[in-house]
Amino acid sequence: MKIKVEMRTYLKVKDYSVSKEEFQLRCDDKEEVLQTFPVPHNLERYYESDDYISHTDAKSSIFEIIYQTVKKINLTSKLRLISSFAEEGKSLLDVGAGTGDFVFTAKQKGWNVSGIEPNPKARALAKEKGIDLVTALDRLPEASFDVITLWHVLEHLPELEKDIDNLRKLLKPNGTLVIAVPNFKSWDAKHYKQFWAAYDVPRHLWHFSKQGIKSLFSPFQLKIEKIKPMWFDAFYVSILSEKYKTGRKNFFKGIWYGFRSNLSYLSTKECSSHIYILKKTK
């Protein structure tokens, strides 16, 4: 699927966490994938904030403590997931590895691990844990990995189709690609609209639906085998969205709307975020 640059405006969204600048979300008529517009030339500076929590191990606030606690729970869940379909090989590449926690956890469980992280501050924190991360996909040999994971990373990639092609090449025959991304067709996205925290512009350059992921990956011989909900994301995103909408923290209201979003999944199958498990078909 070729993603067009000339698309209509779907929504106008502000960068609440760093710059306070406004951006557009653009889409085609099918509304499968949204694109952030304009893309800043100096995108790196939009990550330079203490509020960008995935690049830190901070526990100085209640919100950060909750985030780091949930992250630990998710590490166990993620490892269990990738172990369930890696029967013969255990070579793992984690793209957008952040501070290296998932790579570190997998390494402790016997995985042959590699990781990619462009942010120097995050790489330095990973190095303190004994994890050396590289900065780009083209620094790795082709057909080297049984499993490649991108945990909330795909939406950050500026050259989306080129990077998907590179990911396919890095997978071994019959390898597995695991992708977690927010879902802009979820109940909480529709409820919070322009205040939905998972839009996270301009750091999130792309915004996906289930059909969008399917259409995007099919031309690269990567087939969706399973889609799994990410229950915790609805709570985290709703708590943050409530702050963006009202200007103040309201944990109980955010948790309530997160619960409502998860409840709606039972009928709509649209969760705040999904995990997509894709297999290389050629």
119: domain CATH number is 3.40.50.150
| Domain encompassing residue 80 | 8-280
Sheet arrangement for strand 145-151: 112-116, 91-95, 145-151, 171-182, 273-280, 222-229
What pLDDT shows up at residue 260?
98
What pLDDT shows up at residue 76?
87
Query: Is residue 2 situated within a structural domain?
Result: no
Domain count, the chain: 1
What pLDDT shows up at residue 1?
47
Buried b (16+ CB within 10 A) or exposed e, 194-219: ebbbbbbbbbbbbbbbbebbbbbbee
pLDDT (tens place) for every residue of the chain, 282 residues total: 444 446 799 999 999 999 999 999 999 878 899 999 999 999 988 987 765 545 455 555 665 666 666 677 788 899 999 998 876 669 999 999 999 999 999 999 999 999 999 988 889 999 999 999 999 888 799 999 999 999 999 999 999 999 999 999 999 998 999 999 999 999 999 999 999 999 999 999 999 999 999 999 999 999 999 999 999 999 999 999 999 999 998 999 999 999 999 999 999 999 999 999 999 987
What pLDDT shows up at residue 29?
76
SS3 per-residue string spanning 99-167: CCHHHHHHHHCCCEEEEECCCHHHHHHHHHCCCCCECCHHHCCCCCEEEEEEECCHHHCCCHHHHHHHH
CB-CB contact of 36 with 184 (8 Å): no
* Helix, strand counts (H, E) of the chain: 8, 10
Sheet arrangement for strand 33-37: 8-14, 22-27, 33-37, 206-208
Query: Is residue 3 situated within a structural domain?
Result: no
Distances (CA, A) of 176 to 35, 83, 171, 227: 26, 11, 7, 13
Query: Is residue 20 situated within a structural domain?
Result: yes
Q: What are phi and psi of 11, to 5 degrees?
A: -165, 150
CB-CB contact of 201 with 25 (8 Å): yes
Distances (CA, A) of 87 to 75, 140, 153, 173, 214: 20, 23, 25, 14, 25
* Location of structure tokens 């590289």: 134
Q: Which of 24, 42, 25 is nearest to 34 (CA)?
A: 25
What pLDDT shows up at residue 88?
66
Would the pTM count as exceeding 0.85? Answer: yes
